[in-house]
Each structure stands twice: as C-alpha cells, then as structure tokens.
Amino acid sequence: MIYLDHAATTPVRSEVLDAMMPFFSLNYGNPSSLHHKGQEASQALEDARQSIAKDLNCYPDEIVFTSGGTESDNLAIRGYAFANQRNGKHIITSCVEHHAVLNTCRQLQQHHGFEVTYLPVDSTGMVSPDDFQGAIKPETILASIMYANNEVGTIEPIRELARIAHDHDVGFHTDAVQVLGLIDLNLRELGVDMLSLSAHKCYGPKGVGVLFVKRGVLLMEIHAGGGQESTRRSGTENVPGIVGMATAIHLAFSGYRKNLHRLEKLRDRLIEYILEEVPGAQLTGHPAQRLPNSASFTFPNIPGPDELILLLDLNGIAASSGSACHAKSIEPSHVLTAMGVSLERSSGSLRLSLGYENTEEEIKQVLHILPEVVMELQGLSGGFHATNSKAKNPYLESGK
C-alpha cells in the first residue's frame, strides 16, 4: 500500500513508541498523586511540557494538554468566548475552517447569543486581510482562522491577520493542526494568542494534543473537574500520549528542514504530471502558498469521490477526497464550495498528502496508476474515455 493520506493521520514513529512504552506499565502513576509513582508521572509530564515549549519558543505554562485538535479548538473558542463575553459577543472565522471550529461557532450562535461572521475566501482558499479588517466591530472579541487548510493545503496569512486583530484589541486563535512538522512554528514571532496542535498529524499518537495559550489570555475551562492543567483543562492527563507527543514534536522540529525540499519536490512532481496527463484535471488550493506535502485536485465526469478513493485503494493507493473527519458525509465539501468549485467538479475531488516515508519509486507508481483510474471512471460516467497513458508518457519513460 502506498500511503498518501498523511493529512488524515500519520504512522507513529518507532522512537515515539519507545518513549511511550514505560508509561503504560512501569511508570503508570497518576501525575496528581503525591507518592513516588505519581511524582514519576508528574515529572514526565513537566519534562514533556518543557520540551514542547522549547520547540515552539513559548513558556511552559502556556502549554495546555488536551485530547487532540478538536478539543483544543473547542477550548480556545468556547473558553475565550465565555471568559471575555463582557467585552462583546462577536466572533470572526472563515467558511473553510475545520468543523471543530465551525460547529463550535454555530453552537455559540444558536445557544449562547453570540454573533459570528464567516469570512469568504477566494478561488484559492485564501482569506483576504482587507475582508478580515472590515469585519471587525467594536463588539468583536475573538477571531479564529486556520493556519493551513486540511483539504486543499492553502496557507493563510496568519501573521498579518493576527497583527490586524491585535490592532483592534481582538484575540486571535489559529488551528495549526495541519502545519506541525511542515512549517516552522515560532510562537514568539507568529504573534497569535492561542494555537491548536494534534500529535497524530506529525507521527505521534492519536488522542492527545496541545493548546497554546499566551500568558495573560483569559480562558474559562469547559471541562469541570479536578483542576488539572492549571485549572484550564480538568481530567487526568494522558501521560503516555503526552510523552509520545513531545518526542514526535521534537523529532519533527529537528528534521523538518532537511525533509522539506524532498517533500516539495515529490509534491511538485505529482502536480505537474497530473495536470498534464489527466483529462480535465484542475489543482485546488493556492498554487504557491500551500503545504509542502499537499497536492489536491478535482476531475470532471467522476461519479463521486467515494468511487475514486475506493478504486485507488483497490490499486494499492491510500488517498482521500478531503477531510477524514467528514469523509462519510454525502454533502459536498464546504471548502470547495466556498472556493467556487461546482458540485460536478467537487464530486471528483482528490487529496494526496505526502509523508517523510514516501519514496520516489512510490510516486512513480502513483503516476502510472492514477491517470488510468481517473479515466476509467470518466469513461463509466460517459465522459473522457480511458486510455493507456503509460506508453505515451515521456515523464515516466525517462525515469524522472
């Protein structure tokens, strides 16, 4: 199987698993316990917090451990909204956010009397800073704009948006789940107030994440309980997962630059060839401001995205049509719809997201298989007729 769905999840690295294992058996204590076993776990927890803070260039007490990106987004938006609603009840977000952000905002609208502005995006999925500034009102207290889109890979102008927000005394949160290990995250330079991360997007375990909360930011806890994480997130911490996450983040920050060029080269190879060889193929997302591992497309005359993904799977390629969290929905992608992509085209969407373990030989195999799979489905729908593209393809014949 050629795995090209790293935007959905990544395999756990062996070094990460090795770091986690003692905390399932030998060092199994509850970090809130006062005895020796508890203190072992507590020390591991704080070591992980220190490590992550160093890698992200922030203070250790600005790191809040959560169960993943969804909880981090919920805690950031709900926690900030409830803690600061005396200053206003208006929130700004974009219409291409992850559903962890969109549905949280909708619930605040429907059940708590908040007003939410959903900013449009252009045809590449980019939020306009001018639109953002124009949406700010005296009662605006918070903005939440994702760092990079999980479906099409577009990277948003987060530094500029955060600066505009702060010029108007508006708090700023970004969902940075997709960028971990792919973009340098220096939180002192980025200028955001809150930032969400998830371990399983960068070769760590599932079920554990981080919310960065800048010093001085008021946040109300949304899980009432024992007051863990400095009363910001109650619940016994997932010590094995947190240790694994700290290891994964450190490995990602240590090695991402040396892998960046290789990932970009493989991504560009996919994009160039697919646009040239697959009838009607169109790139989705920004052509330049996109994640180094992300290539996303739409194809005309495809019966539906499930058929494309399943046929690729039968041919040994694991890919996706968009967000894994929304994969079973029969609704068209809200991201592609917001970008102006027609329903006919969005039904033929494909996301290929690369990882460090992918090889040039694997990409070469994908470039042999994908055009024939797409054209077979186009032929079944009465569109383009399938042809054997291998024989006529100089790109593949040259061994590039």
pLDDT at 381: 53
The more confident residue out of 353 and 344 is: 353
Joined together, the tokens standing for residue 74 give 């919920």
Question: Residues with Cβ < 8 Å from 243, sequence gap 6 or more?
Answer: 19, 20, 23, 44, 48
pLDDT at 305: 76
pLDDT at 388: 38
Query: DSSP letters along 247-292, please?
Result: HHHHHHHHHHHHHHHHHHHHHHHHHHHHHHHSTT-EE-S-SSSB-T
The span from the CA of 111 to the CA of 391, in Å, is: 60
pLDDT at 197 over 90: yes
Q: What is the mean pLDDT of residues 65-78?
A: 98
The span from the CA of 149 to the CA of 128, in Å, is: 15
Q: What digits encode the pLDDT tens for the residues 123-152?
A: 999 999 999 999 999 999 999 999 999 999
* 58 is annotated as an active-site residue: no
Handedness of CA 389, 382, 350, 152 (dihedral sign): positive
Q: How sure is the predictor about 256, in pLDDT bands with cuts at 50, 70 and 90?
A: confident
pLDDT at 272: 97
The whole-chain average pLDDT of the chain stands at 92
Q: What digits encode the pLDDT tens for the residues 204-245?
A: 999 999 999 999 999 999 999 999 999 999 999 999 999 999
pLDDT at 382 over 60: no
Q: How sure is the predictor about 303, in pLDDT bands with cuts at 50, 70 and 90?
A: confident
Q: Which one of 95, 105, 202, 325 is the catalytic residue?
A: 325
* SS3 assignment, position 172: strand
Runs of H (alpha helix) within the chain: 14-20, 36-56, 69-84, 99-112, 129-135, 158-167, 187-190, 239-277, 305-314, 334-338, 343-346, 360-380, 394-397
Q: What is the mean pLDDT of residues 341-356?
A: 94
Joined together, the tokens standing for residue 1 give 């199987």
Q: How sure is the predictor about 259, in pLDDT bands with cuts at 50, 70 and 90?
A: confident
The span from the CA of 102 to the CA of 92, in Å, is: 11
Query: Considering the chain, what percentage of its residues have pLDDT values greater than 70?
Result: 93
The span from the CA of 122 to the CA of 27, in Å, is: 51
CB count, 10 Å around CB of 77? Answer: 28
pLDDT at 328 over 90: no
**Domain definitions of the chain by residue range:** 12-252, 258-397
Q: How sure is the predictor about 397, in pLDDT bands with cuts at 50, 70 and 90?
A: very low
Spacing of C-alpha 201 from chain mean position: 7
Long-range Cβ pairs for the range 160-167 (8 Å, 24+): 160/129, 161/127, 161/129, 161/132, 162/190, 162/191, 162/192, 162/193, 163/191, 164/129, 164/132, 164/133, 164/136, 165/132, 165/136, 166/191
Joined together, the tokens standing for residue 230 give 């400095």
Specify whether the CB–CB gap between 309 and 297 falls below 8 A.
Answer: no
258-397: CATH number: 3.90.1150.10
pLDDT at 77 over 60: yes
12-252: CATH number: 3.40.640.10
* SS3 assignment, position 366: helix
Name 167's bridge partners: none
Q: What is the mean pLDDT of residues 302-307?
A: 86
pLDDT at 159 over 60: yes
Query: Considering the chain, what percentage of its residues have pLDDT values greater than 90?
Result: 86
The enclosing H or E element of 209 equals strand 209-213
Q: What digits encode the pLDDT tens for the residues 40-63?
A: 999 999 999 999 999 999 999 999
Triad 284, 126, 217: Cα angle to 5° = 130
Query: DSSP letters along 218-245, please?
Result: ----SS-SS-TTTTTS-S---HHHHHHH
